[in-house]
């Protein structure tokens, strides 16, 4: 399937002249050298094994994300069969209508209300870590915290968060199943069916008696005078486990890794929690949790670095764009104090890094994620004041479409 990769041992194909394919196993191990080759030699190129076009330079990715010649209709090879069409796969008027009723649910009063429960979830998850000598912050905290926030935001019982955890683990890893493995697909679909069976009575209940939560916003929403079908509401809830859970989980893991790698910075963040926000913005730039955002060309599309034919799937390589030296100086370096764009503006609004996307589909949950990360880091540092790497532990990142350290083994006492 990926015979052209350098990992395939060379063979008949001269890999120095072959554009890298996302299906090469090297991408999963360490994509950054390959991103660099793409940016330098093949900035807009067809990935034949994947049947998609790869775009890697900052300037090109930004245009592909924001220009309406690049549609979201076909977003995700995997999301559509799993959760049907949600806001991520919409364009034009329909997309604007969904953003209009969703946006207030992620801002202002709704966000302020959530902050209290975020604080409670963080404290409840951090406390048990204190009682051990060593803990894995990924399994013990990062994997669980953002999903519990999604469950609370939807207005579902907080004590059911572990169920979501199980569905997510069992099935929705399917979302990263870019190789379309049928067994993973089948597991994903059966978890989806369980999730929908769980959600259906809550949807009925909120239609009859709306409350002050995101599920009620979805149940009360109307587009062109018609309420959203149940399936669309439940599909959006499922999408949020990935869009709001997995992303924030990975973002927090990558930030913690960078802080643990730099004990001086970690100490500075402990003394001045506002610094965590700067460090987070830089972590989102250098190690974006969502590495690839997909689009499809409506007609032939001309980018500064090349042309893509009509009807093509376009993989916007956010991980490559965020390390483009044309845009960020010394891009592999983690520098929360950089002044060339990652953090000089309020990053949740007009971010110059592309970790939250750009344009019409800019992440709806960016401010919520910010609250989670700020509170999560503060609570962890308060609860575990001597936090440092466990002896002899070396973290390593994994993942292709989304990417983060697999484990963060720390000494907590």
> Where do contacts with ligand HEM occur on this chain (CB under 6 A)?
65, 72, 75, 87-88, 99, 150, 240, 243-244, 247-248, 251, 289-290, 293, 355-357, 361, 363-365, 368-369
Give whichever of 191 and 251 is closer to ligand HEM, judged by the CB atom.
251
Q: How far is the CB of 139 from ligand HEM (least distance, A)?
A: 19
Distance set, CA 389 to CA 249, 392, 405 (Å): 19, 8, 13
CB of 117 to ligand HEM, least distance (A): 13
- Output the DSSP codes for 380-394: HHHH-TT-EEPTT--
CB of 160 to ligand HEM, least distance (A): 16
SS3 337: coil
| Cβ contact 147:169 at 8 Å | no
Q: What 8-state DSSP symbol labels residue 104? A: G
**Smallest distance from the beta carbon of 123 to ligand HEM, in angstroms?**
19
Shortest gap between Cβ of 321 and ligand HEM (angstroms)?
11
CB of 391 to ligand HEM, least distance (A): 30
Residue 3 CB, shortest distance to ligand HEM, in Å, is 31
Cβ nearer to ligand HEM, comparing 216 with 248: 248
Judged by beta carbon, residue 89 or residue 191, the one nearer ligand HEM is 89
Residue 58 Cβ, how far from ligand HEM at the closest point, in Å? 15
3 state DSSP class of 275: helix
* Pick 150 or 234: Cβ nearer ligand HEM: 150
CA dist 222 → 218, 227, 238, 382 (Å): 9, 4, 20, 44
Comparing CA positions, the residue from 365, 348, 371 lying closest to residue 112 is 371
In this structure, the dihedral spanned by the alpha carbons of residues 32, 33, 34 and 36, taken in order and rounded to 10 degrees, is: 90
Number of residues written out for the chain: 413
Provide CB contacts within 8 A for 171, sequence distance 6+.
187, 188, 189, 190, 191, 192
Using DSSP's 3-state secondary structure scheme, residue 305 falls into coil
18 or 165: CB nearest ligand HEM: 165
Q: How far apart are CA 22 and CA 315, in angstroms?
A: 9
Residue nearest ligand HEM by beta-carbon distance: 365
Measured in whole angstroms, the distance separating CA 368 from the mean position of its chain's CA atoms is: 13
Nearer Cβ to ligand HEM (82/243): 243
365 within 8 A of 355, measured Cβ to Cβ: no
CA distance 93 to 125: 41
């Amino acid at each position: 399937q990926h015979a052209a990769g350098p990992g395939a041992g060379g063979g008949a194909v001269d890999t120095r002249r072959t554009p890298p394919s996302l299906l090469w196993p090297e991408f999963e191990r360490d994509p950054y050298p390959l991103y660099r080759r793409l940016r330098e030699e093949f900035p807009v190129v067809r990935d034949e094994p994947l049947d998609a076009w790869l775009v890697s330079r900052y300037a090109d990715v930004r245009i592909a994300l924001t220009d309406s010649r690049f549609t979201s209709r076909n977003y995700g090879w995997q999301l559509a069969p799993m959760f049907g069409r949600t806001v991520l796969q919409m364009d034009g008027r329909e997309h604007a209508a969904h953003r209009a009723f969703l946006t207030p649910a992620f801002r202002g009063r709704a966000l302020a209300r959530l902050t209290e429960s975020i604080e409670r979830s963080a404290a409840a998850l951090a406390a048990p870590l204190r009682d051990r000598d060593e803990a894995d912050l990924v399994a013990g905290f990062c994997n669980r915290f953002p999903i519990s926030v999604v469950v609370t935001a939807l207005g579902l019982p907080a004590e059911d968060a572990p169920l979501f955890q199980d569905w997510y683990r069992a099935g929705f890893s399917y979302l990263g199943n870019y190789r379309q493995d049928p067994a993973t697909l089948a597991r994903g679909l059966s978890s989806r069916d369980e999730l929908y069976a769980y959600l259906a009575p809550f949807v009925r209940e909120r239609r009859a008696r709306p409350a002050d939560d995101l599920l009620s916003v979805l149940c009360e929403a109307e587009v062109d005078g018609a309420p959203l079908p149940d399936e669309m509401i439940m599909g959006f809830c499922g999408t949020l486990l990935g869009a709001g859970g997995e992303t924030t989980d990975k973002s927090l893991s990558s930030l913690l890794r960078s802080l643990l790698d730099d004990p001086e910075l970690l100490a500075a963040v402990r003394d001045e929690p506002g610094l965590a926000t700067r460090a987070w913005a830089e972590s989102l730039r250098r190690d974006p949790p969502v590495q690839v955002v997909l689009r499809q060309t409506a007609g032939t599309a001309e980018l500064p670095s090349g042309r893509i034919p009509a009807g093509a799937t376009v993989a916007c390589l956010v991980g490559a764009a965020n390390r483009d030296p044309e845009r960020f100086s010394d891009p592999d370096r983690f520098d929360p104090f950089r002044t060339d764009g990652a953090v000089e503006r309020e990053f949740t609004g007009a971010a110059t890094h592309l970790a939250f996307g750009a344009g019409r589909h800019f992440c709806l949950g960016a401010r919520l994620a910010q609250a989670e990360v700020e509170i999560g880091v503060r609570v962890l540092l308060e609860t575990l004041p001597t936090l440092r790497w466990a002896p002899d532990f070396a973290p390593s990142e994994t993942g292709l479409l989304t990417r983060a350290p697999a484990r963060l083994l720390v000494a907590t006492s």
